[in-house]
Amino acid sequence: MGGERLSRAAAHRLSLYLRALAVWLPDAGKVSSGRIAEACGVTDAQVRRDLAALGNLGQRGIGYDARELTAAIRAALGIDRTWRSVLVGVGNLARALLRYQGFRAQGFEIVGLFDNDPGKVGQVVEGLTVEAVDRLGERVLELGAELAVLTVPAETAQPVADVLAAAGVRGVLNFAPVLLRLPPRVKLVTVDLAIQLEQLAFLIQLGEPEPRAEDGG
Amino acid sequence: MGGERLSRAAAHRLSLYLRALAVWLPDAGKVSSGRIAEACGVTDAQVRRDLAALGNLGQRGIGYDARELTAAIRAALGIDRTWRSVLVGVGNLARALLRYQGFRAQGFEIVGLFDNDPGKVGQVVEGLTVEAVDRLGERVLELGAELAVLTVPAETAQPVADVLAAAGVRGVLNFAPVLLRLPPRVKLVTVDLAIQLEQLAFLIQLGEPEPRAEDGG
């Protein structure tokens, strides 16, 4: 890291650059900021600024080494390691997430599944046995899980989040349509799928071309 | 609208305010900007600014009428109407989305389901019969669909998006982990679930309390 603190908007753009690099990586040696900019729908100047913040990476007139750049971005985002994670609420969304290759590829490993439905406890889903949610607190500790993915209904999200916070998880990715309260040491990212659709409606109503870097910046 | 153009970050915050208002609406008459600010993790001044852009809504010392404010926000976001939408790719994620109450509540109505798997065509899922993706273009027109939700694998997302664009959809909500190319008249919001986890890792690495309004602004 080049000393400068990354903004969250910049972190979002870095995630997008990583997606573009992943597509090219098999045969890319050097890549230019312009090529990244074009693929991600941001300006060349923005890409240069964002990548300059990661340190002295590119060479003028030659570009960036794709593999080195990928490693630098992963380090800046904190995904140059594995994050052991539990998933709570084994419904359709959970099954979709478990099959989603992107999580494991980016270093997120689901190590435990939990549900409050006795009919689901004991079932094997994508190689993991569903456990009773009553045991969540102790199991988070035993499994050494640092993150939790919440795919429970809105009404059970807060009590489950409280158990997770007490058990010491460092972050929660919440899909339940509810505003969770967590102590400041536990980071929260809420994925509200209806908000995404609302943003789409808003863009259509706005009626003008939008850069693809969806960071609101 | 108060004449001022909403930024995308502001639109995202409005979506959050709407969530807070929905929780209170059954028994809320008047709500203060401070109460909204606290629930959404943004500053009071930010809430006032955002709501001032919607017109002359609040009364000094009294607050905002919850019902009037909800209607004004929905109009600003373009969700004071119904958006007929098709969904392409009927897997676990699609099933989760179809059961998700939030879509219909916010005015998004799924009117058609499509899949390229002959084993799925003809199946009834959440009251809708799955149709063959070959017929997607003509059916979009017949159904009068304006939006499409894409829950297909990465490799089929672009061809499906091309068909949707040709059939005249105005917006695509894309869950496939791929950077789609669409003509500027078709708006795109991409939900990359791994990016959400990356943002969580980034926040943990950053290690400081983060306001809950996840707009990067």
How confident is the model over A95-153, as pLDDT tens digits? 988 887 777 777 889 999 999 999 999 999 999 999 999 999 999 999 999 999 999 98
Q: Per the CB < 8 Å rule, is B12 touching A100? A: no
Cβ proximity of A69 and A57 under 8 Å: yes
Q: Is the dihedral of CA B90, B95, B99, B101 positive or negative?
A: negative
Q: ipTM of this predicted complex? A: 0.82
Global pTM reads 0.77
Is the CB of residue B158 less than 8 Å away from at least one CB of chain A?
A: no
Which two tokens mark B140? 């979009």
Domain A8-77: which topology?
Arc Repressor Mutant, subunit A (1.10.10)
Backbone angles phi, psi at A106, to 5 degrees: -90, 10
| pLDDT for residue B133 | 97
| pLDDT for residue A167 | 96
Identify the residue among A19, A199, A210 best suited for mutation to test binding to B, counting B beta carbons within 10 A and taking the highest.
A199
Search chain B and give the residue with CA nearest A189. B200
Domain boundaries, chain A: 8-77, 83-194
Asked whether residue A1 carries a pLDDT value surpassing 60, the answer given is no
Q: Indicate the pLDDT class of residue B215, thresholds 50, 70 and 90.
A: very low
**Residue in A100, A202, A216 nearest the CB of B216:** A216
| pLDDT for residue A84 | 95
Those residues whose C-beta lies under 8 Å from the C-beta of residue A130, and which sit 6 or more positions away, are: A90, A113, A114, A115, A120, A121, A122, A123, A124
Cβ proximity of B149 and B175 under 8 Å: yes
Q: Which amino acid is at B194?
A: A
List of chain A residues whose C-beta atoms are within 8 Å of the C-beta of residue B39: 179
List of chain B residues whose C-beta atoms are within 8 Å of the C-beta of residue A215: 216
Backbone angles phi, psi at B174, to 5 degrees: -105, 120
| pLDDT for residue A208 | 54
Is the CB of residue B1 less than 8 Å away from at least one CB of chain A?
A: no
Give counts: helices (H), strands (E), chain A: 9, 9
Which two tokens mark B106? 């916010």
Listed residue (B184, B185, B178, B142) closest to B160, CA to CA: B178
Identify the residue among A4, A205, A210 best suited for mutation to test binding to B, counting B beta carbons within 10 A and taking the highest.
A205
Number of Cα atoms under 13 Å in the Cβ half of residue A156 = 13
Question: Which tens digit of pLDDT belongs to each residue from B60-70?
Answer: 778 899 999 99
Q: Indicate the pLDDT class of residue A2, thresholds 50, 70 and 90.
A: very low
CATH (residue range A83-194): 3.40.50.720
Between CA A80 and CA A122 the distance in angstroms is 33
Which two tokens mark B115? 């899949």
